[in-house]
Structure 1
Amino acid sequence: MSAEITTPGPGANVKVLRLERGWLQDRLAGKAGMSKSMLGKIERGERPLTQGMGAVLANAFGITLDELLGHAPVNADDEDRLTELRAAMRRFDLPTSAPVGVQQLDDDLAELFRLRGDADLSSVTHILPGLLRKAQDQAHATGRPEDWSKVADVYSAVYWLAARHRWMTLAELAVVKQRQAAERSGALALAVAARDEAGTFLNGGDFAGGLAVVDRAVVQAESTLHGRTRHLALGLLHLRGMTLAGRLQDKRTVAQHIKGARKAAEVIDSDANVQGVHFGPENTLSHIVATHVDLKKNADALTAGERYLRDGYTLPATRISPLHMNLARAKLALKDRDGAVDSLIEAWNTAPQMAKVHPTSLELSRVLVSLHKRSNPKVTALAKKAGIRL
């Protein structure tokens, strides 16, 4: 089972897990194939734990990446809602009441997508149980593919919520149900389901397995979809493939997925909201920035990301906050600590609920607070947001 985060910053879990096993740094460093100096910096908060390094360390411990990162605790106010959500998921094939009507369901879905875009995790948690029941009841009543597509949309949101908190049992169950609904819908829903399935591999640190899921889905989308829908599906899959390949440091595969995503984005022209997930030129750029940082192309990431923010953007908070996190990563790698603090504060301000549980924001907060030895009001404010004691 994964541990609940009690110390902000997943890198802090490395030392805890090592000491639980009675290992010295030499043993863990040797099993992970990294230097003892690098391991010490991660444990002391002098260098951030990237998810690539986290996957290596998790493998050395014999656990998954999400277990190493730790899961976010469930707020007391959300416990009952999550219980209701699990109950609704169990009744996937058992309608519970008469359908509410197409317009009401569409309105509720639009509200879900708005809340997801705003990264309002708490409100998404509260709306999901009832909406899932409504969507499943409607699909059972009509049997129409378009209604099963709506069920798949809701399960995609369940996966998103669970993945943000690293509640991986819930996330993995959600993608199973999502695929079952997508199989009763159509090829686009299946592509989105595959994207989310690959996301569970990403969260678990099995980047090669996730790429295999993406590759299989790309072949299926290319053979079953046409027109704009084909490009939307392929674009979403290439974005996931880009991230997975970046975590593997596989530059050749990264280049292939960037090329595929850009080709699809040129056809889409402007970002579209596909089943609650955005794809287009802007989201492609945000993923390229993140992958540049994974590949240590930090100057390129800064140039592209800062120009994008300066020229104006339409992406929602759920994408802009991680972009600021990745710019903070790049700045920290380039020794611009003050700039990294500014970018990370922007990430917190843009989507505070996401930043509170996101492993990247928590890890960067831990490291930046540790590295700033002198008094700094911005760092003090950042520590307060992240719950770090000075």
Structure 2
Amino acid sequence: MASSFHQFLLLLCCSVWYLTHISQSQSSPLPNALLLPITKDATTLQYVTKILHGTPLVPVNLVVNLGGPLLWTDCSSRFASSSSRSIPSRSIKCSREKAHDLGTKRTTCPSSAQPCEVSTENGITRMATRGELVEDIVAVGSIAGSKATVDQFVFSCAPTFLLNGLASGAKGMMGLGRTPIALPSQISTALGTQQKFTICLSSSDGILVSDQGPHDSVFGPEISRSVTYTPLFSLQEHSIGVKSIKINGNRLSLNASLLSSNGGTKLSTIVPYTTMESTIYATFIKAYIQAAASMNMTRVASVAPFGLCFSSKGIDSKQLSLKVPAIDLVLQSEMVKWRILGRNSMVRVNDEVMCLGFLDGGLNPMTSIVLGGYQLEDIVLQFDLGTSMLGFSPSLLMWERSCSDFKFDSWPKYSL
């Protein structure tokens, strides 16, 4: 009897220790979560991050391309890394890494001495060229202040002219797309982790964090519980299925097949403001003007590149969600909506004028709707590439927060 009582006490003590340990681990920052700070360039409106690269490790600024297939950099303007290795054209690694390269054209069988080449594009200017695939050491920071190193990270060496149009100081682009050569896949393979990452952008500073545990540890339980999930489409980029659009609760009369054509609705960090196919845009603008008039908003002359502008008189920039029409992107059901409130819809161009941050994307765009960077700011976006799901939070302004708030005392000194 005494022995059974002692066993019960031991079990009780172990259970209390376990629950306490788990509670503490979930309420503190995850030491193994990889962390990349992101800064918005005020001139180009591009989002820029920084990695360490080569031997010795040297910081390199890169423009973040959410749907980009790979990481590319201008190798000619950098130091000669002693650990850089060229990938042969007829190697297994070349064939595997070029699986996404739809631009490859083979006219002759390459020799084993030729370097592996892949189509490399500047997503801003849409200029593309052939780049040489190489592998080298890449290091990124963690929340704990240490760094994780990938010894054989594959990227493309592109010519200097491909840098045209990038933010000042940027030496290439970092692709976060759904390909084996994109950053999330390479990090996942090298470290044996799941293909998940979370990005949180702002008008100043933001972060990209690998998913190595519960989001409560970084963003807090209230924000984490607010996340809504929707399927991701497309083989390479990150697209979602928008079934309909509502303004102030009123559904727009749109052709559903048009919404889903041309790749549906893509999320982009290299397009500053949301673009819509011309017929979608015309219907959208007409409905927005009617909703704005019902709220006594005063229309004024347009300011390029925006097509619809209003007087900012009487509109409190801190309470835009209460003063301008709400936009809902209805996803897989009426219960699943991406709500765009004032902070993510209206752009203040000067002290007197605010403009709707949605642009005409033309009659035959590659994608019917592209959600631009401005519409993604101050929203927690969780990408699970393994399950092809996207989690998105409401605007953090609901909690009087911003993506620029997530900073850590142990922020790596070599980070941006």
TM-score above 0.5: no
Task: Indicate the structure with greater helix content.
Answer: 1
Q: Using CA pairs under 8 Å that are at least 6 residues apart, name the structure with larger relative contact order, 1 or 2.
A: 2
Task: Indicate the structure with greater strand content.
Answer: 2
Pick the structure with greater CA Rg: 2
TM-score normalised to structure 1 length: 0.30
